[in-house]
Amino acid sequence: MNERAVVLKGLAQGIRPLEQSIDWFESLADAAQFEVLRDLAGFCIQARALIEDGPESIRRSGIRPTHTPAVLITRGHLTEQLTKIINLPQGERIKAFRLLVALLGVADERRRARFCAHGCGHAWHHLGTGAGTETATA
């Protein structure tokens, strides 16, 4: 698993503090910010995020339900909405980042409870222990 994936999945699991990571995200060049949002959207799809995860993700993210990323995430056809979110203008990127981290957290919690409750080989589920992150793929 690459370093960015470790950071993003650690954020979603609450292992890394979101506020410090926002500073990290803001320090990235525009192209790198887009790549981070694209990676987060991909991880959300892999974690089987659902449109029903939208309200809880909005709550956890701390953004208002009226902010553009929040409105989009609740509109249905999640893959299409994620594409719109990652392509929002620069002024919406921090909100999008916060929301996608929260969405990944919600989806991953459900997936972990459903499929990994008795243990698993997903390296990102063992970030707190440091086990296996060097050989896993995102």
| 17-53 tens-digit pLDDT | 788 789 889 999 999 999 999 999 999 999 999 999 9
Structure tokens, 111: 């997936």
Structure tokens, 120: 């698993």
Mean pLDDT of all residues in the chain? 84
Distance between CA 44 and CA 67 in Å, rounded? 20
Residue 40 sits in which domain range?
A: 3-126
**Who contacts 61 (Cβ-Cβ below 8 Å, separation ≥6)?**
70, 95, 98, 99, 101, 102
Residue 136 belongs to a domain:
no
| 5-23 tens-digit pLDDT | 777 888 888 787 788 789 8
* Residue 1 confidence (pLDDT) above 70: no
Residue 133 belongs to a domain:
no
This prediction's pTM: 0.80
Residue 72 belongs to a domain:
yes
Confidence of residue 136 (pLDDT cuts 50, 70, 90): very low
Residue 134 belongs to a domain:
no
